[in-house]
Structure 1
């Protein structure tokens, strides 16, 4: 469990390092070949950059779980981490050379390799019954949140040395993560080698093929709607803070600390207890509905009140994310934990790419509309979940929407 937590913490921190700098880089920095590529509006270029990373994550995470199930989890994890470190190096060089095409390509390649977080989550799920599944996955999520806190906070201050410095820091963090995985992760079991070609594996074990299963699809739709709403917040609250309050990178980083601090505390300390008291179903409904309302209210507030609301938003996100992966792991482990966790990661990445592209266009009208859209999507996810029939105690196993 310690190895899973370390890998999740450092790996996520590497992913999150650039987030506080991208909006100021494209929206407030002096014009350059990078921010005015082909004469396109900086907001649209930023939307492309924001979309390419999760698009790479989508493609990578959809197969990395199956790769780990078949070729060995430590082997697959270490290999993809070193490739991701190389992607961060290319990003740093692209910023130094002011080359938008290289920067966009590097972000895509980095994302392609960073779907490996699904492997760590699969290992956490496999620790049951030695560690309760909800507890193990909650600890892993707490470390992921800590990475989202540590990464933007570090990035917000590393940018003082120039934007490229942030990506050099990301390369170092992910390389260290690879070394930790090699040293501390359990050795792959003998005989854990590929029995299919890579192409056959992609076709047969791709996590996205799980959408064909009605019992999984019923819950995956909820997951997609909720992730669309959460990603609208994640990706565009920096837009909103810059546009409405002229925030600088370190100020964006502080608000990120507020959100993720409450997410860490909620996930690490209270999720298992809340699940025992209220039940997983009630927590999902309350968390998704409450988050939707909060996101709709957020654009109405001033800077001080928004910071307070950010804290409550963190609790709502952690409530759903702390319970839903455990439900999926418990109900559908027969499909392979790598594939199931890969599906959740792929869904998150797909929604991140979609909301980055769609939200950037909506942000041309006003960034607050993207936050409102996120709130409506969270409410839609709660409505969808409430529509699922409860015909039996194992209702997700036989559920689809009426």
Structure 2
């Protein structure tokens, strides 16, 4: 397959998959913050904000499991069959989500969000597909474009939700169903069939022995996991709770949340196009700087007034886009020999693990004040930026020692 077609296929897959995942963000905060009670926001008499936190965390839980498994499984069974199966299955998950909203069945809604997340955890497979075929600056640029497509999905998804909500709360989810079926068709056409594997191991054996968390046995990847977990805790605190902040502080509703989210994702998408360009600065130095800038933006939302917070929400897109373009490429170069699918899976699963922890913790802290979880997230991301600087020095010393040994 020619490189332009490969990159286009991966980016379209990322875009269409992310559209479905992004749809609920403008929908859920007003739904669970509504004054009128219903079977969704008063299930078992629990506080609506607690139910909202569970609804936020269950999809990332599915993404966590799916990403940890789908990347390594694609190393074993091939990228194409895993991408096809996950796209069709996620479409079914969105259809179930729409039906659960019609009948106001909270447990079914939670189950549907879990299934959808489980099968939409295929971003690591798309990244691994590019990492397999590309090298050097082309790989960096392609991964940056892939991130741009992901961010464009977060832009298109909330916009579709804001526009189509006037025809019913289920309409955005039916749009997601169609989009993911289109994804499956695109994958079937764009990606060539792969030779069947002659290995006799079952999918369960692969899932049990080849999941991404096995990489934590490698000391360097264990350090990466800790740093990435801290940074993404701040990012997920921002993603999960700035929509609720927009409801509580400036008093926005679904359409207002959708437009602010669109502006944020527009900045991320445009920034990603430039983030992959060659740079004279070392990768970890760029990662550290932009991690600090992203943390500062999250802190400005938690500590600022309505206008400062909105400006910080939108500005957050630039440093986060650069961080997410440079980190996977650096990891691919340094750790790719351990399996590109597993390495990219570890990066993604760390994000989803942080999302689960922050969503559950935030659902409790927002009972006091939504700004608390935002400030806590900012502090965690700032610690990650500080730790990256020390880790960079440790890796440089290790590389120098190994180079000296190999010289003798």
Q: Is the 8 A contact 1:26 1:35 kept in 2?
A: yes
* TM-score, scaled to structure 2: 0.93
Q: Whole-Å Cα distance in 2 between the matches of residues 167 and 338 of structure 1?
A: 29
Gaps of at least 5 residues in structure 1 are none
The equivalent residue for 1:125 is 131
Q: Say which is worse superposed, 121-130 or 350-359, in terms of deviation.
A: 121-130
| Among candidates 183, 189, 197, match of residue 192 of structure 1 | 197
The equivalent residue for 1:261 is 266
Q: 1:7: how far off? A: 0.5
* TM-score, scaled to structure 1: 0.94
What RMSD, in angstroms, separates the aligned Cα atoms of the two structures? 1.9
1:68 equivalent in alignment to 2:71: no
Q: Whole-Å Cα distance in 2 between the matches of residues 80 and 23 of structure 1?
A: 27
1:15 equivalent in alignment to 2:21: yes
Q: Is the 8 A contact 1:215 1:396 kept in 2?
A: no
Q: Whole-Å Cα distance in 2 between the matches of residues 129 and 315 of structure 1?
A: 25
The equivalent residue for 2:217 is 212
Q: Is the 8 A contact 2:275 2:322 kept in 1?
A: no
Q: Is the 8 A contact 1:18 1:155 kept in 2?
A: yes
Q: 1:282: how far off? A: 1.5
Q: Is the 8 A contact 1:127 1:136 kept in 2?
A: no
Matched residue SS, 2:164: helix
Q: Whole-Å Cα distance in 2 between the matches of residues 311 and 147 of structure 1?
A: 16
Q: 1:271: how far off? A: 3.6
| Among candidates 368, 375, 378, match of residue 365 of structure 1 | 368
Q: 1:270: how far off? A: 3.7
The equivalent residue for 2:393 is 390
Q: Whole-Å Cα distance in 1 between the matches of residues 87 and 198 of structure 2?
A: 19
Q: Is the 8 A contact 2:301 2:310 kept in 1?
A: no
Q: Whole-Å Cα distance in 1 between the matches of residues 297 and 398 of structure 2?
A: 29
Gaps of at least 5 residues in structure 2 are 1-6, 403-408
- How many residues get paired? 396
Q: Say which is worse superposed, 254-263 or 386-395, in terms of deviation.
A: 386-395
Q: Whole-Å Cα distance in 2 between the matches of residues 219 and 398 of structure 1?
A: 20
| Among candidates 162, 178, 185, match of residue 179 of structure 1 | 185
Q: Is the 8 A contact 1:4 1:185 kept in 2?
A: no
Report matched runs for 1:1-400 at 5 Å. 1-28=7-34, 30-129=36-135, 132-188=138-194, 190-192=195-197, 194-273=199-278, 276-388=279-391, 390-391=393-394, 393=396, 395=398
Q: Whole-Å Cα distance in 1 between the matches of residues 397 and 141 of structure 2?
A: 21
Q: Is the 8 A contact 2:284 2:392 kept in 1?
A: no
Q: Say which is worse superposed, 288-297 or 128-137, in terms of deviation.
A: 128-137
Q: 1:391: how far off? A: 5.0
Matched residue SS, 1:7: helix
Q: Is the 8 A contact 1:331 1:396 kept in 2?
A: no
